[in-house]
Structure 1
Amino acid sequence: MSSNINLSERLKKVSSLLPKGAFFADIGSDHAYLPCYVCLQDHSSQAIAGEVNVGPYESAVKTVKQFNMNDRIDVRLGNGLAVLEKEEVDQLVIAGMGGSLIRSILEDGRDKLGSVKQIIAQPNIDARSVRKWFLDNDYIIENEGILEENGHIYEILSAKRDDTSSPYQDELLERQLLFGPYLMKDRNVAFFKKWRHEYEKLQRVLLQMEGAKVKDEVKIKQFTQELKWMEEIINDENKDH
């Protein structure tokens, strides 16, 4: 029956990171495809689908009804984690938004995270913001994935609040926050493709900044360093072939 939901590869990857018997919230759930997919595959799971806009909220209600999931999936209208009660869920999914938006949703809803043991985030851009928030709030990254779908490259991060040992090394911290501590090690085709693209983009930005009347020397220094790290990654790919 779960095959009735045509879930994207990125959301399949997200769903694979949830434990059996999860009670999770999917924030920005859109049509509630992810909660329905998970609950159809795992009969012991439950979910809350949160949506801030009325149109997608109504679509989510329809999807949940279509799959007879009303007793296990609760669709709620509201902003970010405001749809949750305190201590209500064990896992949290926030997928398909920018990293800085995910970060602010987590920051604004910190009082709702008391019982949340795992956060799975899929930022469309700026995954570093999310990694930084995890680091500052005692959530330790334990799994990362990167994949290409429909011409976009997505990073998927899972962090837990438990005794998992941190993958970060002090001397590599800034680099690991940028590239991802696990992704730096695994380096698949999508990883190299992303950083070749980011390298070219950053080169253009630096050229503009160097040519500006008033130069932001601090930013120029930071970007020059990041460019150097990206260069090392790209050179490593060339060595591999």
Structure 2
Amino acid sequence: MIKLSKRLQRIADYVSTGGRVADIGSDHALLPVYLLQSGKSRSAIAGELNAGPYMAAKKQAADANLTALLEVRQGDGLAVLKPGETDTVTIAGMGGLLMREILETGRQAGKLEGVTELVLQPNVGEDAVRLWLLEQGWYLANESILEEDGKIYEVLHAKRQPDAEALNAKLYDGSFLPLDWDRSALKGLLIRMGPHLIREGSETLEEKWRLEIEKLEKIRKQMSASDLPEAASKREQFQADIERIEEVLKCLRMARH
């Protein structure tokens, strides 16, 4: 059986057993091949836009003797799918804004009809993906954060279910955080940092946001060289952002201890 990276394995772990999976931006089709070899998925589609990875995915399917179960298609995003032919869609290894665009374009074209599960791994811009899921009525059932080869990744697991609105309202209410902020600010924080991730409060999450604070500090210091009123206003915004993240990290440390 093919061996996956830690990142891809986490995505595979979230995929429900016994369904039909479509991996969009599949590259070498490692994920769908694993899902079929392990018996977790009963059929798979690997979608890839570029010719090189598309051919590599076809070769991977042939080498694994899975061409009867794994169909490799060339196309842009969810355009490779027909409505109702898959249960789970996985998308990994791209920016959150692009991922959101792919999902929304596919939704408008009816490509998500019949899809009950999304497993998404944006490299950056996770908040854009969480916000889209919330706006479109998907329940964020779980999420995780992991480090591999010096990089930090987040994996989001969303489900389509009738009580998603009530579940999301509870998930994003922020009442578990001992912070004296208004409700909209708490919700924005949870969308940005991850409601499940904050509840878990792992050291990896703290490491990620420590690095983010360092980036914000550098930008704020660079703006100190400017005398423009706009720069002063932005410096204040960055400082307020840093202080809010620091508050959350302090809560996480207290919860762990």
TM-score after normalising by structure 2: 0.86
The answer to whether the Cα contact below 8 Å between 1:90 and 1:115 also exists between their aligned partners in 2 is yes
1:206 aligns to what? Answer: 220
- The answer as to 2:25 corresponding to 1:28 is yes
- Counterpart of 1:204, as a letter, is K
CA contact (8 A) 1:99 1:127 kept: yes
The SS at the match of 2:230 is coil
Once the two structures are overlaid, the 10-residue window that deviates more, 226-235 or 99-108, is: 226-235
Q: Matches of 1:43 and 1:194 in 2, distance apart?
A: 31
**What is residue 115 of structure 1 aligned with on the other side?**
114
Contact 1:192 1:233 in 2 (8 A): no
Question: Measured at CA, do residues 156 and 218 of structure 1 come closer, stay the same or move farther in structure 2, by a change above 3 Å?
Answer: farther
1:80-229 pair list within 5 angstroms? 80-110=77-107, 111-162=110-161, 163-164=163-164, 165-166=167-168, 167-169=171-173, 171=183, 172-209=186-223, 211-212=225-226, 213=228, 215=230, 223-229=238-244
- Per-residue deviation, 1:211: 4.3
**In terms of mean alpha carbon deviation, does 179-188 or 202-211 score higher?**
202-211
Q: Distance in 1 between matches of 2:232 and 2:72?
A: 48
Aligned to 2:49: 52
Q: Take 1:139 and 1:216, find their aligned partners in 2: how far apart are those partners?
A: 38
SS at match of 2:72: strand
The change in CA–CA distance for 1:25 and 1:219 in structure 2 (over 3 A counts) is farther
**Amino acid in the other structure paired with 1:231:** E
- Aligned to 1:112, the other structure's residue is in SS state coil
Deviation, 1:221, is: 5.9
> What letter corresponds to residue 249 of structure 2 in structure 1?
I
What 5-or-longer segments of structure 2 have no aligned partner? 175-182
- Note closer, same or farther for the CA distance 1:232–1:74 as it changes in structure 2 (3 Å cut): same
Corresponding residue SS for 1:109: helix
1:7 matches 2:4: yes
Change (3 A) 1:8 1:130: same
Unaligned runs of 5+ in 1: none
Pair 69,237 (structure 1): closer, same or farther in 2 beyond 3 Å: same
Amino acid at match of 1:123: P
* Residues 208/46 of structure 1: CA separation in 2 closer, same or farther (3 Å cut): same
CA contact (8 A) 1:87 1:115 kept: yes
RMSD after superposition: 2.0
Do 1:209 and 1:215's aligned partners in 2 also have CA atoms closer than 8 Å? no
Q: How many residues align?
A: 238
Does 136-145 or 224-233 show the bigger shift?
Answer: 224-233
Tell me if the contact between 1:35 and 1:47 (Cα under 8 Å) persists in the aligned partners: yes
Cα distance in 1 for residues equivalent to 2:40 and 2:198: 36
Task: Please say which of residues 225-234 and 56-65 is displaced more in the overlay.
Answer: 225-234
> Which residue, 75, 87, 90 being the options, matches 1:78?
75
- After the TM superposition, which parts of structure 1 deviate over 6 Å for at least 4 consecutive aligned residues? none
Aligned partners of 1:220, 1:104: CA distance in 2, in Å? 31
1:38-49 matches, within 5 Å, as 38-42=35-39, 45-49=42-46
Cα offset, 1:218, TM superposition: 7.5
Q: Distance in 2 between matches of 1:218 and 1:101?
A: 30
Q: CA deviation at 1:223?
A: 3.8
Counterpart-to-counterpart distance in 1, 2:40 and 2:250: 47
AA at the equivalent of 2:248 = I
